[in-house]
Structure 1
């Protein structure tokens, strides 16, 4: 990861439709979402969505895989992790204690879901 790749990723996410697209794809991991369904879900014309998907893909934030007549898009979580790691690598001039509140907020990023009955069930 370098400055240019990080700038591309940040610029790609600095647009409402692309940010919504990326968040939706993260939420739909690992299944992914077909391009046409993304356009429908976000109420964006398909040609406009194609342009947004191309920008996110070039930025290393998503990847598309052809399946028959569709392209299934998925969030590239490794690419996103690389951007975040690059931004935090020299966090606060090497003073990790200054970044600890941010780290604490991010971990765990996905707390386990509690069923409606409020009880945790073992698999």
Structure 2
């Protein structure tokens, strides 16, 4: 991931409802959730949710797939890893002993 893409991803997450959507979809795993369920779960109007989902999709943090009349959204774990990797790339001068506890903290979050 480059700086421009990282800024887009961070900007997409820098809004309360979008951050809530992303965290919900990370918890949901690879199967994700239908758009209507996401809106209902977070108590957000569907047209507003559609906008949020579009922003997160364009930022590369979530992906969508059509299942008949339903659109299902899921976290894009490759996009998430790309963002985390970008943020950690220059961390701690690349000293593995320092980076390892950060990675362990991340896995327990």
So what's the TM-score if we normalise by structure 1?
0.82
Deviations 1:49-73 (A, max 9, x none): 0000000000000011010001000
Unaligned runs of at least 5 residues, structure 1: 111-123
1:92 shift after superposition: 2.5
The yes-or-no answer on 1:104 pairing with 2:95 is no
CA distance in 2, matches of 1:70, 1:5: 28
Match of 2:43 in 1: 43
User: Which structure 2 residues correspond to residues 12-51 of structure 1 after superposition, within 5 A?
Assistant: 12-51=12-51
Higher helix share: 2
**Structure of higher RCO (CA pairs closer than 8 Å, 6+ residues apart):** 2
Q: Distance in 1 between matches of 2:40 and 2:95?
A: 45
d(CA) in 2 for partners of 1:100, 1:64: 33
Structure 1 residue 83: Cα displacement: 0.6
**Greater shift after overlay, 37-46 or 92-101?**
92-101
User: TM-score by structure 2 length?
Assistant: 0.91
Structure 2 match to 1:11:
11
Of stretches 88-97 and 5-14 in structure 1, the one that deviates more from structure 2 is: 88-97
- Consecutive unaligned residues of structure 2, counting only runs of 5 or more, are none
Supply the distance in 1 between the matched residues of 2:100 and 2:75 (Cα, whole angstroms). Answer: 26
Q: How does 1:16-95 map to 2 (within 5 A)?
A: 16-95=16-95
Q: Give, in whole Å, the separation in 1 of the partners of 2:19 and 2:35.
A: 15
Deviation string for 1:54-103 (max 9, x for gaps)?
00000000011010001000000111001101111111233444434312
Query: Separation in 2 of the partners of 1:20 and 1:80?
Result: 15
